[in-house]
Amino acid sequence: MKSRRQVMWAVQWAAFVLGSFWLTSCTSGSTESVDSSFIHLPGESGATEAPKMSWDKKSIDLGLVAAGEKRDLQYLLTNSGNSPMVITQILPTCGCTVAKDWDRSPLPPGESRDITLSFQAGEQTKKMEESATVVSNAIPSSVELSFTAQIIGPDTPSSLLNP
């Protein structure tokens, strides 16, 4: 006769198996999107065939920005590798920065496209240093894009305006 522990284990295992089948049978129904499950990161031996991210710049200094002002920042990305590159995510570090919708189609080797971040300055006078991480199937698999700005608000001392 089976012990209570064995019966409970069998029930839990059956629930796990059924749950796994249920989860794997769920699909979004869309075949037009590309997500990170399609990305294969090659080992060291495949690195020569992989896509590679090259940037015209990784950091931008916006200088003085008025409180409440919105600015768009553009970073030019080039695939300097040997196979198509897919950008899967762009992750800003704060709520004041949003990644504008980027082209999710594969970027062929040798081609370039813009990555745009939209920055909304707050109302306080302060120096901002923010960034966004770009994730792809390239080498390296993620790159940090950064920017700085000096926010000038209504409480700005005149010493900051006339150095």
Mean pLDDT, the chain, whole residue set: 81
pLDDT of residue 130: 95
Going by pLDDT thresholds of 50, 70 and 90, the confidence category of residue 132 is: very high
Whether the per-residue pLDDT at 27 is higher than 60: the answer is: no
Whether the per-residue pLDDT at 26 is higher than 50: the answer is: no
Go through the domains of the chain in sequence order and give each one's CATH number. Answer: 50-154 (2.60.40.10)
pLDDT of residue 139: 86
**Residue-wise pLDDT tens digits, 137-149:** 998 899 999 999 9
pLDDT of residue 66: 94
Q: Give mean pLDDT, residues 82-88.
A: 95
Whether the per-residue pLDDT at 100 is higher than 50: the answer is: yes
What's the Cα-to-Cα distance from 117 to each of 32, 94, 101, 145, rounded to whole Å? 25, 12, 9, 9
Q: Give mean pLDDT, residues 90-104.
A: 93
Whether the per-residue pLDDT at 110 is higher than 50: the answer is: yes
Q: What is the pTM of this model?
A: 0.68
Greater confidence (35 vs 116) lies with 116
